[in-house]
A = this chain, B = another copy of it.
């Protein structure tokens, strides 16, 4: 007790000397803003509810047939998105209430043994738990960059916040399909949900047998109602609609039958090919974004700035993230933080000293297939979009261009994806 007691006495004697000594200032350092706004609220006694859920009030958009939540990527570190902050793209006016005791998953169509599984049946089967990102196919796309408002948070949230990362638990679809016995020629599956709109989506059999699983758990808890309780598909690395929520039926079929969401709602009209539409969107390319500092957050102060962000790839594992603090003229490698997992968000950090000049900061990811995140110009060139079109926001999805954030001389940050 001696050390502790005397320590306390000594501290009281030094209190006057310590008062007003800002952190780091004594050592001549200046720290840039890296506060986590989710963490500044005062806790409620013991329940913790208020300080935990405080951020949910931002980042929500609702319409008569749609509910969208945007994940506040700027407000947390690490890679696990808190379950209650996972993004939502709900294609209906409300979340269905499903009685898990009554819910069944049916496998039918081109199978030897049509099967119907209760939730208890599924929970007795071999399980896997895997950390994977999910991402709406529209996330970060050009059309989103000018639609923000205060209620949806800063651009790291409303432009980029339709991706999140969780530890999901469930049964490999390959196990279920093996029980049912897929017949020769059964090359696709059609998934159908239990929501009122019967959200449907197809999936090629190769992916279905590779790493897809029907999930009942998220971050150690049951799925939340807005995430598909009691059961959803997890289709790692592919665009969000393949991870069908409220999963009810799986039909094994012989071709890529389409449905409203794929053939109409999520298709991309192409003026350049006579009004035909681009239907097929599968695996996400590699992406990354600097989440802090980023547009709309606290202005920078000269001196030390920790740059941090997330990188991911639908094709595999992130092998490298580079950061440029001079508008893309030069690049240096950022630090990747463990765990670095396939088809999961990967946290990177980069130590920087801002000299007070105007500049542009950005990140660029590379995955283990060799895929490198392109600039917007490179992406549009790859897509065949004419240079004249490339200066304005083009409606598209599956957008994975590098995100530039402009730093003004007053330290404020701005979205520099498109010319002002």
Establish whether residues A192 and B8, one from each chain, have CB atoms under 8 Å apart when the complex forms: yes
Asked if A190 is at the interface of the complex by the 8 Å CB criterion, the answer is: yes
Q: A45-B97, A339-B339 are in contact. Are A249 and B126 (CB under 8 A)?
A: no
Residues of B within 8 Å of A18, CB to CB, are: 106, 108, 114-116
Q: Which of A313-341 contact B (CB under 8 A)?
A: 337-339, 341
Chain B residues with CB below 8 A from A51, complex form: 222, 229
Residues of B within 8 A of A380 (CB): none
Chain A residues with a Cβ closer than 8 Å to the other chain, count: 114
Which one, B118, B123, B130, B337, contacts A129 given CB within 8 A? B337
* Chain A residues within 8 Å of B, Cβ to Cβ: 1-4, 7-8, 10-11, 14, 17-19, 21-24, 26-27, 29, 31-36, 38-46, 48, 51-52, 76-82, 84-85, 94-95, 97-101, 106, 108-109, 113-131, 167-169, 179-181, 190, 192, 198, 200, 202, 216-217, 219-222, 224-226, 229-230, 249, 251, 253, 257-260, 263, 306, 308, 337-339, 341, 347, 349, 351
- 23 pairs from A and B in contact (CB 8 Å cutoff): A1-B259, A3-B251, A3-B257, A4-B259, A7-B109, A10-B251, A22-B121, A23-B124, A24-B115, A24-B179, A27-B113, A36-B123, A40-B120, A43-B224, A46-B95, A52-B221, A76-B217, A78-B129, A80-B219, A81-B220, A127-B308, A130-B338, A131-B339
